[in-house]
Every structure is written in structure tokens, then in C-alpha cells.
Amino acid sequence: MLHATTDPEGVVFLRLARTVAGRPLYRGGAYLLGNVLLDCGPPATAREVLAWLGGRTVDALLVTHHHEDHSGGAALLLDRRGLAPHIHASGVGLLARGYPIQLYRRLVWGRPRHVEARPLPPVVDTGGVRLEVVETPGHSPDHVCFYDRSRGWLFTGDLFLGERQRYLREDEDLEQIIASLRVATALPLERVFCAHRGPLREGPAALRRRLDHLTSVRDQARDLMARGVPDAEVARRVVGPEGPLTWISGGRFSTLNFVKSLRR
């Protein structure tokens, strides 16, 4: 499924999802800003993105991080449109050689093909836009945001996702996410664009609320840990009980991962 919306300021958001019996599974997204494509969605929707691009001019493909729901369409876009993905230097090898993807993720997103990517420069100035690359690791080591300083627009990939994060991935680093949110919220911001939710309403305030929430989770968890409360109990009291995604993902997403991340 591909659903494109253009907001009054000309930013195109492509909402992308694999559908089963006509119903979308988990949704992802990509943006077209000027002639620059920011993320390109999962393997499962690569042909739809290619078809939608049609005769449009695209000068560059920038990806926020290597996860397959953001970069999975890149191999097809390189083959058919000559668009090499640009990614943080630490993600180049992951796209070239591949990385482990669990079955449930392959079912939702499809299996990405390996692709030769190029490292992002500090500033991308092409296709009618000028974007600064802001390193924001934590969700993944190679995660970046793209910042249009002249307009105060921040494209946040998976840095936002929601004000109250229910689960942490096993490979996410809570302290790094908090540090990255501090960097992002310190920028002069007018608008925030989430890869999964689209353009956010009152985005800068929402991003600050997410920072405050995660900081509070971290501080409460550290306090309970220092008092010797068992990890699972800390997670339950600070974040909440585990839910269906914990079981579906075999624990790769869980509330316990918040505490495990602080123990590393």
C-alpha cells in the first residue's frame, strides 16, 4: 500500500505498508522534499515507490538508518533509477553485507537485497534542498536526522515514533536515545517529520515531551535498580507490563529491554 499526501508547504509523505487481505500491517513511510527522497520504505513496497516516482526527478536518496523498513527499497531504486542510497558511514557495510532480520520482520517488511551505499556528507545540498546531517544514535548506531536549518524542519526517522515508547528494541540504547533527543530538541525547530507518523502536529513540543518522558523513565528505573528491585519488576513498575509484541518478537521488543539497556 502506498498513500501519498502533500502538505501545504510542499512536503510529500509516502505512507507505506504491506497489506494482508487488504489490511495494512505495521506502517512505514518516506518523504520527498524537493527532489530528494528521505528513506525509501521496506522491500515489500519497493515496486510501488518506484511506480509512484514515475517521471518525477529525484536527485538523491538519503536514509536515516539501515533498518529495512527505511532502506529496503534502495536496491530496486539503484537498479532502476540509478539512485545510490546515502547513509551514515557506519551503515554502509550493513547495507552492503546484510544483517540479521528475524522471521516476523521479514513477514512484515520483506527481505532486503544487499546494496552498495555511500557515506553521507555532513551537509547535503542538492535537489533544491539543503540538509544538515545530525547524528542521533541510540535507536541504531547509524541513525541520523536531516535538518533544514533555514526552515527549522527536522526529519527524525525513528527518533520520535511516539511520546510514550512502550517497548525498547533489544539493540536500542536508552541513554544514547536520550542524548540524541537532547541534541535534536536543542535545534531551533518549527516542524518535525516522523518516518512512521508523518508530519507531527506541534512537533517540537511533542519531541520535547518524548525527551522528558524517557528521561523520567530512566531516572525512575535507575532509582529502583539502586534499591535492588529485580529488573522485571523495575520494568513493570516504570514502563508497564509486557504485551503481545514481546511474545511475537521473542523478546526483541520488550519493556524489560529498558532496564537491560541501563545495565549495559
**Residue 38 Cβ, how far from Zn ion at the closest point, in Å?**
14
Tell whether residue 197 is a contact of Zn ion (CB under 5 A): no
Are the beta carbons of 101 and 245 closer than 8 angstroms?
no
Q: How many CB atoms lie within 10 A of CB 181?
A: 23
**Of residues 94-123, those binding Zn ion (CB under 5 A):** none
Part in contact with Zn ion (CB under 5 A); list of ranges 60-68, 179-187, 201-209, 251-259 = 60-68
Residue closer to Zn ion by CB (options 48, 69) is 69
Query: CA 93, 73, 178, 155: dihedral to nearest 10 degrees?
Result: 120
Residue closer to Zn ion by CB (options 117, 234) is 117
- Which residues partner with 14 through β-bridges? 4, 30
Residue closer to Zn ion by CB (options 67, 210) is 67
Tell whether residue 158 is a contact of Zn ion (CB under 5 A): yes
Residue closer to Zn ion by CB (options 142, 242) is 142
**Residue 220 Cβ, how far from Zn ion at the closest point, in Å?**
25
Tell whether residue 39 is a contact of Zn ion (CB under 5 A): no
Part in contact with Zn ion (CB under 5 A); list of ranges 18-26, 67-75, 162-170, 241-249 = 67-75
Kindly tell me the sign of the dihedral angle through the C-alpha atoms of 158, 97, 57, 28: negative
Report the alpha-carbon distance of residue 156 to residue 159 in Å, rounded.
5
Tell whether residue 67 is a contact of Zn ion (CB under 5 A): yes
Residue closer to Zn ion by CB (options 37, 224) is 37
Tell whether residue 173 is a contact of Zn ion (CB under 5 A): no
Part in contact with Zn ion (CB under 5 A); list of ranges 82-90, 100-108, 158-166, 176-184 = 158-166
Count residues near Zn ion (CB under 5 A): 2
Amino acid identity for residue 213 in this structure? H
Report the alpha-carbon distance of residue 91 to residue 74 in Å, rounded.
13
What cell numbers appear for 114 in the block? 544487499
Are the beta carbons of 221 and 238 closer than 8 angstroms?
yes
- Which residues partner with 16 through β-bridges? 2, 28
**What is the residue whose three cell numbers read 505512507?**
15
Residue closer to Zn ion by CB (options 49, 224) is 49
Interface residues toward Zn ion, by CB under 5 A: 67, 158
